Amino acid sequence: MANKDLNPAASNNKAEGFAAALQTLVLGGGCFWCTEAVFVRVRGVLDVESGYANGDAQRFPTPSYEQVCSGSTGYNEVVKLVYDPAVVSTRALLEVFFAVHDPTTPNRQGNDVGTQYRSGVYFTTPEQQAEALAVVSLLEASGQLHAPVVTEVLPLRHYSAAEAYHQDYFEQHPNQGYCAMVV
């Protein structure tokens, strides 16, 4: 689901063959509708897709929303970001991520409760891992949080896109009750 505020320079770079420089980072910060609504507005993020990550791929190779919501699959509701690091850094994305959710609540974000709502950074490069660990360390050292950070920082093991009706959900349903109150 393409970034709505994509700047022309980034778009042209992608079209001119610079796509190899793009990176993917997967983030779990509670409801994917809420997280997606934030990142589609970040300059340099070229695509945001709601999905499920790091669950039991052997038993659930393509999990459904209902299966993930049951809490029995091990999957986390996530957003997969494809971004241009020449426009937005991994550090900047992580700073946004930690500002828009509570990284201190295990298996919950607000009223959303269950392992599928855990805080997680699922990296695809060693550099992303290092950045995530550095940001977590800075957050904990800052004393700004009321509890320890419980965000898991793990390699992306398995990702499955969420059903089509979850993609761009807030953009398509801004007045839906959950979106109006939470997003």
C-beta of residue 145 within 8 angstroms of C-beta of residue 101 = no
Q: What crossing angle do the helices spanning 32-39 and 90-100 adopt, rounded to 10°? A: 130
Residues ≥6 apart with Cβ < 8 Å to 18 = 84, 86
Q: Which of 91, 99, 87, 98 is nearest to 45 (CA)?
A: 87
Q: Which helix (H) or strand (E) holds 92?
A: helix 90-100
Residues ≥6 apart with Cβ < 8 Å to 183 = 33, 34, 37, 170, 174
Q: What is the largest CA-CA distance in the chain?
A: 47
C-beta of residue 55 within 8 angstroms of C-beta of residue 75 = yes
Q: Name the catalytic one among 31, 34, 69, 179.
A: 31
Alpha-carbon torsion, ordered 97, 103, 162, 16, to 10 deg: 20
Active site annotation includes 31:
yes
Active site (catalytic) residues: 31
